[in-house]
Structure 1
């Protein structure tokens, strides 16, 4: 089977979608430490858009096939691989290659799926639940009873963070939304209250609202996917000895911080780049997915409906994510 032709999305130039096409390629053969996955679904991630524009901190060598974290069935394994076997249903946290019929992934970053988790639900997990878990548990050291503020809560990582915070013992979950009409969907996932993160004077309004809904306490944990003016307000809303985790800058501006804030309030500001964990601490990711899969098996997590596009319609999938018109996790299905 390896060596036969497969179809894959190929990027031949950055920031030019006219230079992206579905091509026929030889199906790769897994080398030692690798797994070949027959892809059943690949999530379309914001980081895929940034990488295709050439704006991500790590640039792949051109041409390349985008797509992080596909799900599928193990089709072949390298000669030394015993972590998974042919026929296993898996989530494969490959850095690239998911927008294809077959994808190579490191065996150490391939996770066998429980029977209770279907392919589309697993694709919803991909790059969202691992990022949220690491932000809450590893970086922020979530404690039972903590008041948690999730900024960018309607996105994939945000939705995951809301549910994981609730399932893992947070005392209160507050979400940042662009408008109040986005709150009901997050309340169903476990959110208790909201703060609006659109408008003027966010430096003051976010702080004031968080203090209001937490009874003056502030947020013990902040998970921030937005950056910009939202970060400026959120850092003022952190409670004494609180922890703010920077996950991204979806608003576009990378904020700066006067370091008297951490000093005077004894707070911590840290960052999370999930790919490094897969390379440097794979055992921590094993712990993460074991925990997330167990919560899924218990029915403690609610996954988004899929908005699936055929591989040939990759451009529609990107546009649905980019325009924020999708009302579910955008997937490509070979």
Structure 2
């Protein structure tokens, strides 16, 4: 079978024949139909992000596929089932504090690194092995290409679960103009937030979010003055119940602080971004303010296992509408082009998708007919 391999950091992906994996106990062999290429993939593959990924490796963060073979511990999966493959793999020998690896992408600590050496290769391939518990059945009406964007929505969904977001509450998204942040706006609305305060510096993107989702979205253009920004965020929609930060590593910790301090008394702040990962100032919050206002601050990396079924339910119900997605697809032979395209096109609801088993030898087939200029529905472009 063929796969796109990262031989060394800083080198292009090499599409070549690799040994087909064989599933063991507790594993499923899946044919990969579609996998989303994240905008910062080029930073991971160059080594800029300093992820504990060990080349040579087939990268890629999960996606949509079909079951080719399942082990005897799979009681409901059948060959041919359409499934979501979740990249968040947890060790099985410690239910309370499991080690975690993101298959084909990253890991946490020494235990996560050890786990990654078994579940090493990701989804930039024709076939991959996934832990049985990481395979979630989908109904046959699902479009694999469009649904592959679910991996982006799962991240903020995990943060909002950690925050205990309740219907009717006000959510503030710090970093709302980015790829994950804009998904957080849509996810918060789907979960019943009464209002979502979208904060960022890109005025045009903020206006687009307001036009897409209507008056429940309140936008705040940040000016860089911490006190003024905090005041503007507090004034945008009254008391803020939950703050979710999704800012990337290059962002200033002062921006996170301004958003966090907009939360009300007894409010919750969840940190999911990358601030400080590549150096720079750590987040500093005043001890007296935290204590006297009974504010809860917690970090959250990824999401619990049952988050997948939760997001799938939101999509099936229509509460989370994937028709906002504008998708460009690439065949496996053009994996490196897909990475470059994702880096140059990382705006809100703009996805780059690799289709390993739909584009063998460049045969992509006809792209779906584009929507009209006045139709906000999903557009798919094949490359």
- TM-score normalised to structure 2 length: 0.75
User: Residue in 2 aligned with 1:65?
Assistant: 58
Which deviates more, 34-43 or 184-193? 184-193
User: Residue in 2 aligned with 1:200?
Assistant: 224
What secondary structure is seen at the aligned counterpart in 2 of 1:130? Answer: helix
- 1:212 is the counterpart of 2:235: yes
Unaligned runs of at least 5 residues, structure 2 = 88-102, 105-121, 357-383
8 Å CA contact 2:34, 2:63 repeated in 1: yes
8 Å CA contact 1:178, 1:196 repeated in 2: yes
- 1:107 is the counterpart of 2:132: yes
Distance 1:47 1:272 in 2: 20
Deviation at 1:101, TM superposition (A): 1.0
User: Residue in 1 aligned with 2:201?
Assistant: 178
- 1:11 is the counterpart of 2:6: yes
Deviation at 1:160, TM superposition (A): 2.9
Match among 156, 170, 177 for residue 132 of structure 1: 156
Distance 1:244 1:324 in 2: 29
Deviation at 1:249, TM superposition (A): 2.4
Aligned length: 312
Match among 257, 267, 273 for residue 284 of structure 2: 257
Distance 2:176 2:229 in 1: 14
- 1:146 is the counterpart of 2:131: no
User: Residue in 2 aligned with 1:40?
Assistant: 33
8 Å CA contact 2:257, 2:285 repeated in 1: no
Deviation at 1:50, TM superposition (A): 4.4
Provide the aligned C-alpha RMSD in A.
2.3
Deviation at 1:46, TM superposition (A): 4.7
- 1:98 is the counterpart of 2:123: yes
8 Å CA contact 2:40, 2:343 repeated in 1: no
User: Residue in 2 aligned with 1:329?
Assistant: 351
Distance 1:107 1:57 in 2: 29
CA offsets per residue over residues 132-182 of structure 1, 9 Å max, x none?
Answer: 221112x11112221101122243432332222222221211112332221
User: Residue in 1 aligned with 2:294?
Assistant: 266
Distance 2:196 2:35 in 1: 30
Distance 1:236 1:9 in 2: 44
Match among 75, 78, 100 for residue 82 of structure 1: 75
Distance 2:346 2:298 in 1: 31
Distance change >3 Å, CA 114–CA 250, structure 1 → 2: farther
Unaligned runs of at least 5 residues, structure 1 = 1-5, 278-283
User: Residue in 1 aligned with 2:308?
Assistant: 289
Distance 2:241 2:49 in 1: 30
Within 5 Å, give how 1:110-125 maps onto structure 2.
Answer: 110-125=135-150
- TM-score normalised to structure 1 length: 0.85
User: Residue in 2 aligned with 1:21?
Assistant: 14
What secondary structure is seen at the aligned counterpart in 1 of 2:25? Answer: coil
8 Å CA contact 1:89, 1:113 repeated in 2: yes
Which deviates more, 180-189 or 164-173? 180-189
